[in-house]
Amino acid sequence: MAINLGWEQEPLLDLLGSLNLEIYGVHANDGYYKGIRYHDLLVADPRDLPRLLLFAQKVRPDAVISDQCDYSQFAQAVIASRLGLPGPSLRDAQIGNSKLLQRTLGWQAGLACPCFTLCLDAQDVLRFGREHGYPLIIKPVDNRGSFGVNRVDRESDVAPAFYDALIHSHSRGVLAETFIQGRHLTVDGYVFQGLGPRTLAVATKTKLPQKQSIIDGEITYPGELPPALYDKASAALERTAAALGFGFGFLHGEFILTDAGEVYLTEIANRGGGVFTSEIIVPNVSGIDILSVYVNDCLGTPLLPISGDPNHPGRTPTVMQLFAFSDLQEGIVKKISGIDLLEAREDVLRLKMLIRRGDVVRGIASGADRHGVIIMTAPEPRELKRRLSEALAMLQVTIEKRDAS
**Omega before 222 within 30 of 0, i.e. cis:** yes
| Structural contact between residues 183 and 256, judged by C-beta atoms closer than 8 angstroms | yes
Q: Which amino acid is at 240?
A: T
Please state which of the four CATH numbers 3.30.470.20, 3.30.43.10, 3.30.540.10, 3.90.25.10 is assigned to the domain occupying 183-316: 3.30.470.20
pLDDT at 215: 73
Residues 6+ apart with CB under 8 A from 90: 77, 78, 81
pLDDT at 210: 58
The alpha-carbon radius of gyration of the chain (Å, integer) is: 21
pLDDT at 404: 56
DSSP 112: -
> Helix (H, G, I), strand (E, B), or coil: what is residue 75?
helix
The CATH superfamily of 115-178 is ATP-grasp fold, A domain (3.30.1490.20)
pLDDT at 366: 66
Residues 6+ apart with CB under 8 A from 402: 328, 330, 331, 332, 360
Pairing type for strands 372-377 and 318-323 reads antiparallel
Fold held by 320-401: D-amino Acid Aminotransferase; Chain A, domain 1 (3.30.470)
pLDDT at 208: 73
pLDDT at 329: 60
pTM of the model as a whole: 0.93
Q: How many Å apart are CA 305 and CA 292, to the nearest integer?
A: 7
pLDDT lower than 50: segments of the chain: none
Dihedral angle at the C-alpha atoms of 372, 187, 207, 285, nearest 10 degrees?
A: -50
Q: Which amino acid is at 404?
A: A
Pairing type for strands 330-337 and 249-257 reads unpaired
Nearest to 38 by CA among 82, 3, 78, 74: 3
Question: In the chain, what is the straight-line distance between the N-terminal and C-terminal CA atoms, in Å?
Answer: 49
